[in-house]
Amino acid sequence: MYKIRTNRGEIFETHGETLLQVLQSHAIYLPASCGGKGICGRCKLRIVEGKSKTSSFFGISEDEKKLGYVLACQTYPESDIIIEVPEKLITVTERISAAKLWLVEKPFKDNPSLFEPLVKKVSLKIEPPTIENSKADFENIRQTLNKKISISRKLVSLLPEFLRKNKWQITVVLTEKEIIDFIEPDTKLYGVAVDIGTTTVAIALIDLEEGRVIDIASCYNSQISYGDDVITRIIYAVENKNGLDILRKCIVDDINALINTVFMKHRDGKILYVTISANTTMAHIFWGINPKYIREEPYTPVLNHYPVWNAAQAKLLIEPNAPVYTVSSIAGYVGGDIVAGILASQMYLQEEISLFIDIGTNGEVVIGNKQWLVTASTSAGPCFEGSGISCGMRATSGAIESFSYNKNSDSFKIKVIGDMPPSGICGSGMIDIVSELFSEGIIDQKGKLIKGFSQWIKEVNDEQRFIISENCYITQADIDNIIRAKAAIYAGISTLLEEVGISEKDISKVYIAGGFGEFINIKKALKIGMLPNLPENRFQFLGNTSLAGAILCTLSYQLRETAEEIADKMTYIDLSRSKKFMDEYISALFLPHTDWERFKELS
């Protein structure tokens, strides 16, 4: 028995397991898309002190080796050791709060018959063939099912032994048109819903028989190393040899690692259905389709409606025949993630006009009701997802998620996810910080930190910083970044409203989506001029609606059809050449806005 100490202060014991196993058993999930076989090179960590034995160094360079890097899945401690846990871990939410599930449960509460996944488990009692009534095995199944169904060459070749071994009582997995697997009767059917964001990837493991979300896991999109936003990713894919393949491998490996992590405890079943919800570029890259022309006017995707291909073609390490459905996109800059979001928000069912805002690396906006839907996209940047900000992080344990400042005492209070020492700031925390510092006059209308107005402002490397803790601060550049992001979002909303000839006042509901964690402080977001100035009770924060919509499509074939209808109905308006948008954006680069009239209730 040896002790393992992490750089974060935890102490674990090992009794002969690999480092990967020890960390997993304490819910620290390193990415391992190969499932711990030492062949993906992704569970890299550094041993700071102590002895250990490592059986393979796949994917670790000589330089890294000298620094102590090993593959966690191939390493066994041989003394007490100290390790450095990588920053980019997989986050798994095992006990999902009711608040998070509200969105994905609502449609089925309203109409239980909607629960009907595309893949189904069917038990069949087959009549064995006789000389008098001889039938081919596959026709025998077709007749028992009373359906003209298809099957793959590989699967049908397994049929005769499977039938006989199971004495003509078998369980098959069916889609609408095809038998996709033979399973043991007690094998559970799982589905996976995937949200591929430019910055963050999230998946939900779903029990397809009980219609229940089991675990949710997320991590950063590894493509971040190749650029922060979709444009730089497209450039990378186009201008580098194998660029597209490299980016594709990043996201496929991420998803495989997430699946491995959540599926570890569910080896009682098979994953037989996948829904992909992603922005247009991410969906193209996921499928290995060149996104080149999305970047060039008139911003043309290769396809918006994806045929249902399968897991083998997607390179997902699950049942190769499992269908992989991709939620339809609208245009080059409004993807299936937004269609999924509208599905989850249910605004497509309502008589009144709603506004939907998805604040991710792109900021997409949708206005409409049950009759019509209009959408546009602005480039917000990844700051609200914790990327491109000095101490930014996703809304996971250790993230500052709220902040309040008291000018009189020049002191502040923070709330950290998981009630632990802060290790970074997530999107909602950033909005709070900028909003509070502006309200209390610590930053001016242009967002500049005013030197001397707080003891927490320090100059480091010629730049002002507001210091929150030993390792958490926000710099002038960070604030400028946040203001540009909020300006893009606000300008998108106001331009789109004008385009469709609607005033803010006509909006009865504003749905906010994005990876902000459990919540966003609407009042504070209003104060910085990020959102239209409406009564607070009209706003509702929905969380990750892209994932929620993907879950709905996985649980319900009808809702998947509805998603297609939403995609067909939605009209895209291109703001990229709109003078109006540029004017709005420039005006919104102030706190809250150059046009005080619009925010007069606030002031």
Provide the CB-side half-sphere exposure for 489 (13 A, CA): 31
Interface with its own copies, residue 68, by CB under 8 A: no
Task: For the segment 139-198, give every residue that binds its own copies (CB under 8 A).
Answer: 139, 142, 150-153, 156-157, 159-160
**Among the residue ranges 391-399, 501-509, 546-554, 570-578, the one whose residues contact its own copies (CB under 8 A):** 570-578
Is the CB of 76 or the CB of 138 nearer to its own copies?
138
User: How big is the site for its own copies, counted in residues (CB under 8 A)?
Assistant: 42
Interface with its own copies, residue 240, by CB under 8 A: no
- Shortest CB 569 distance to its own copies, Å: 15
Angle in degrees, 0-180, between the axes of helices 336-345 and 557-569, rounded to the nearest 10: 110
Is the CB of 480 or the CB of 574 nearer to its own copies?
574
- Shortest CB 281 distance to its own copies, Å: 12
Q: For residues 603 and 600, give the distance between their C-alpha atoms in angstroms, rounded to a whole number.
A: 5
Q: Which tokens in the block code for residue 2?
A: 């040896």
Interface with its own copies, residue 301, by CB under 8 A: yes
Interface with its own copies, residue 245, by CB under 8 A: no
- Shortest CB 334 distance to its own copies, Å: 11
- Shortest CB 144 distance to its own copies, Å: 14
Residue pair 442/450 in contact (Cβ under 8 Å)? The answer is yes
Beta strands at 411-416 and 399-406: parallel, antiparallel or unpaired? antiparallel
- How far is C-alpha 395 from the geometric centre of its chain's CA atoms? 12
Is the CB of 160 or the CB of 421 nearer to its own copies?
160
Task: For the segment 438-497, give every residue that binds its own copies (CB under 8 A).
Answer: none
Interface with its own copies, residue 136, by CB under 8 A: yes
Q: For residues 469 and 123, give the distance between their C-alpha atoms in angstroms, rounded to a whole number.
A: 60
Beta strands at 472-475 and 463-469: parallel, antiparallel or unpaired? antiparallel
Interface with its own copies, residue 135, by CB under 8 A: yes
Q: Which tokens in the block code for residue 226?
A: 């190749």
Q: For residues 116 and 558, give the distance between their C-alpha atoms in angstroms, rounded to a whole number.
A: 8
**Among the residue ranges 45-53, 56-64, 136-144, 198-206, the one whose residues contact its own copies (CB under 8 A):** 136-144
Q: For residues 256 and 37, give the distance between their C-alpha atoms in angstroms, rounded to a whole number.
A: 13
Q: Which residues contact 238 (CB under 8 A, 6 or more apart)?
A: 244, 290, 292, 295
- Shortest CB 365 distance to its own copies, Å: 18
Q: For residues 7 and 486, give the distance between their C-alpha atoms in angstroms, rounded to a whole number.
A: 35
Collapsing DSSP states into helix, strand and coil, what is residue 331?
A: strand
- Shortest CB 128 distance to its own copies, Å: 9
Q: For residues 493 and 364, give the distance between their C-alpha atoms in angstroms, rounded to a whole number.
A: 9
Task: For the segment 330-359, give every residue that binds its own copies (CB under 8 A).
Answer: 331-332
Interface with its own copies, residue 315, by CB under 8 A: no
**Among the residue ranges 40-48, 134-142, 406-414, 416-424, the one whose residues contact its own copies (CB under 8 A):** 134-142
Of these, 222, 304, 354, 544, which contacts its own copies (CB under 8 A)? 304
Of these, 577, 579, 597, 600, which contacts its own copies (CB under 8 A)? 577
Q: Pick from 293, 212, 225, 215: which is nearest to 253 by CA? A: 225
Of these, 9, 112, 307, 452, which contacts its own copies (CB under 8 A)? 307
Instruction: Return the C-alpha torsion angle 434, 437, 440, 445, nearest 10.
Output: -60
Buried/exposed 108-122: b ≥16 CB within 10 Å, e otherwise: beeeeebbebbbbbe
Beta strands at 269-278 and 309-310: parallel, antiparallel or unpaired? unpaired
Of these, 113, 134, 455, 603, which contacts its own copies (CB under 8 A)? 134
Is the CB of 150 or the CB of 225 nearer to its own copies?
150
**Among the residue ranges 117-125, 296-304, 380-388, 440-448, the one whose residues contact its own copies (CB under 8 A):** 296-304
- Shortest CB 129 distance to its own copies, Å: 5
Q: Which tokens in the block code for residue 509?
A: 């509901």
Of these, 87, 97, 113, 131, which contacts its own copies (CB under 8 A)? 131
Q: Which tokens in the block code for residue 488?
A: 């893009």
Q: Which tokens in the block code for residue 520?
A: 């966003």
Buried/exposed 45-56: b ≥16 CB within 10 Å, e otherwise: bebeebebebee
Query: In whole angstroms, how far apart are CA 509 and each of 143, 358, 369, 488, 569?
Result: 52, 14, 11, 20, 20
Interface with its own copies, residue 290, by CB under 8 A: yes
Per-residue contact flags (x/-) with its own copies for residues 528 to 567, judged by CB under 8 A: ----------------------------------------
List helix spans (H) across 167-268.
230-239, 243-263
Residue pair 355/507 in contact (Cβ under 8 Å)? The answer is yes
* Residues recorded for the chain: 603
Q: Which residues pair with 329 in a beta bridge?
A: none
Of these, 101, 124, 289, 353, which contacts its own copies (CB under 8 A)? 289
- Shortest CB 355 distance to its own copies, Å: 23
Q: For residues 447 and 437, give the distance between their C-alpha atoms in angstroms, rounded to a whole number.
A: 9
Of these, 287, 438, 456, 590, which contacts its own copies (CB under 8 A)? 287
**Among the residue ranges 112-120, 130-138, 455-463, 523-531, the one whose residues contact its own copies (CB under 8 A):** 130-138
Beta strands across the sheet bearing 178-183: 120-125, 169-174, 178-183, 150-151
- Shortest CB 568 distance to its own copies, Å: 10
Interface with its own copies, residue 3, by CB under 8 A: no
Is the CB of 51 or the CB of 154 nearer to its own copies?
154
Interface with its own copies, residue 298, by CB under 8 A: yes
Q: Which residues contact 542 (CB under 8 A, 6 or more apart)?
A: 103, 341, 344, 345, 511, 512, 513, 548
Interface with its own copies, residue 572, by CB under 8 A: yes
- Shortest CB 354 distance to its own copies, Å: 25
Is the CB of 160 or the CB of 418 nearer to its own copies?
160
Of these, 51, 53, 305, 523, which contacts its own copies (CB under 8 A)? 305
Q: Under the rule (CB under 8 A), what is the footprint of its own copies?
A: 129-131, 134-139, 142, 150-153, 156-157, 159-160, 287-290, 292-293, 297-305, 307, 309, 313, 329, 331-332, 572, 574, 577
